[in-house]
Structure 1
C-alpha cells in the first residue's frame, strides 16, 4: 500500500481539510463513496487519496449531481484510469 493510501487523518481533520461536515463524511461512507481505514477500535482514518476523493465529491455536488450520480462518475473515473494504465502497458510492449 502506498503512502497516499494509508489512513492518517481523523474524521474531524478530514472534515476540516475538505470544508465538509462530519455527518456528511459519514453519509458518503455509508453510500460507498469513500472507504476510510478503521483502527482496531473503529475510528475512521482518512488517507490523502480519501481527501482527494472528498474534494472530488464536493466538486461534483457543486456541479449539481446527486449522490447516486456522483457514485457513477467516481466508478467511471476509476475504470478510465485502469484502462489508461492498461493502454500504456500494452503500448510499451
Structure 2
C-alpha cells in the first residue's frame, strides 16, 4: 500500500459529518472533543470545521483509549500532549543528527532556548540576560 504524503495527511479536507462517519462517531462528539482541545481541526473560511486524515486517526485513537483502555478524557488529553511532545523531540534529535558532522559536534542553547550547533573550539555568543549552556558528548574512540 503506498504511503500518503505528509502534506496530504495533514490537509484539512473533511467536513464534520464525513469525519464523524470515518471515525465512527457522532458529529456532536467531534464538537465536544474540539471544545476540550482533544482534536482541533482546521477551519474553512466560513469557520466550518475541516478535519484531516491525521485528525481522523487521532479521533480513532481517542475512541480506542476511551472504550478499550478505560482512560478518561483528561487522561487522553495528557497522553496526546505527551505523544506530540515525543514527536517534536524526535524531530529535534533528527535535526541534531543531521547537523552532527565531525566538525560540528558541540551544541548550545540559543537565545530563545533552541538548540544550535557551535563549531569546535568556539564559544556561543553570550546573551546579556543569561549565559548559554553548552552540552557536549565526548567522541568514542576505538
Same fold (TM over 0.5): yes
2:55 is matched with which residue?
50
Partner residue of 2:93 out of 82, 87, 90: 87
| Alignment gaps of 5+ in structure 1 | none
Off by >4 Å, runs of 4+ in structure 1:
none
Q: Distance in 2 between matches of 1:45 and 1:82?
A: 24
2:45 is matched with which residue?
40
Q: Distance in 2 between matches of 1:5 and 1:91?
A: 25
1:13 is matched with which residue?
18
Q: Which has the larger radius of gyration?
A: 2
Written as runs of structure 1 = structure 2, the 5 A alignment for 1:16-27 is 16-27=21-32
1:4 is matched with which residue?
9
Which secondary structure does the structure 2 equivalent of 1:7 belong to?
coil
Task: Compare relative contact order (CA 8 Å, sep 6+) and give the higher one, 1 or 2.
Answer: 1
Is 1:78 paired with 2:95? no
Give the structure with the higher percent helix. 1
Q: Distance in 1 between matches of 2:74 and 2:57?
A: 19
Which secondary structure does the structure 2 equivalent of 1:79 belong to?
helix
- The normalised TM-score by structure 2 is 0.61
Per-residue deviation, 1:57: 0.7
| Alignment gaps of 5+ in structure 2 | 1-5, 101-142
Per-residue deviation, 1:88: 2.4
